[in-house]
Amino acid sequence: MGTHSKTYVLLSAPNGAPEGSPAIRCLVCGLTSLHPRDVSERFCGCCYRFHDDAQRAPIAPGGIVSSREQATAAAREAASRRLWSRLLRPHPRVFGPTADAADLGPQLFVGDRPDPARFLPPAMGGDRPLGKPSGGLWTSPLVDRDGEAWSPWLEWCFGEMESVLAQPRWRLDPDPAARIARIDGVPDLAALVARYPYAGAPWADFWPEIDYAAAAADLDAIHLTERGQHATRFSVPSLYGWDCACTLFLRWCFAGEPVLLRCETGAAHEETAS
């Protein structure tokens, strides 16, 4: 197999990562990932591809990718730097790709009635899941499934957390003026991490995260598309644990009152909760 068919290389502790931390660099797009699953499965979260073992490129003495692969990687990384410079230019309202409330559409919240009086702003540190803040409000796009109020989150819970399916379901309509950042791929996520980096975690050097508390100063919500969820699940930076197309609201920014959706004999019934 010729050198032109080599698509990835394995590295050891690149760019100041902790000693013994292996990484994989995709020679197609130039992305380097420290995520253990990316390394073990030969996966690129930017190209969304699994490399074949036979496509591994050799490493020359000193850790330099040899011959044609080195030139290919350098060209790809230069293109990536140009892309980042465009993504990180200041925007009058938000940084990174944006979506408006009309594009986002009605959202489904599962649980007790959402109430602005009980809304907790996002916070970092403390006991929180990796890649997520404590606080905020999570929703998923509202869809109709044979007359039943449904969402990608409920689809995920169907085989993982089926007790959630019995909880109340509420329709929330985002405020048309809401400032929403949309993550449709790794570059969108990387732009937000670069603009709002969180340095307060011991893993910050090799597992970069968004500082959601800082992002709340400029944004009302962060929306992850289905395509973005697949692309960022095992990438670096990563949104592993977001699990489905969803929206994290950093502020209470909804139009009107929550609408309780009840499913009776297969027909959706709407009732505005008082």
- The helix/strand count (H/E) of the chain reads as 7, 18
- Taking the C-alpha atoms of residue 210 and residue 133, their distance in angstroms, rounded to an integer, is 9
**Integer Cα distance of 45 and 47 in angstroms:** 6
Question: Measured between alpha carbons, how far is 29 from 46 in angstroms, rounded to an integer?
Answer: 7
| Sign, Cα dihedral of 66, 68, 71, 74 | negative
* Cβ atoms of 4 and 69 closer than 8 Å: no
Distance (Å, rounded) from C-alpha 98 to C-alpha 155? 26
Q: Model pTM greater than 0.85?
A: no
Omega before 36 within 30 of 0, i.e. cis: no
Q: How confident is the model at residue 246 (pLDDT cuts 50, 70, 90)?
A: very high
Query: What average pLDDT does this structure show over 58-67?
Result: 50
Rounded CA-CA distance 222/220 in Å is 7
Read off the pLDDT of residues 164-179 as tens digits, 9 standing for 90 and up: 999 999 999 999 999 9
Q: Does the pLDDT value for residue 187 go beyond 50?
A: yes
Among the listed residues 182, 186, 183, the one whose alpha carbon sits nearest the alpha carbon of residue 238:
186
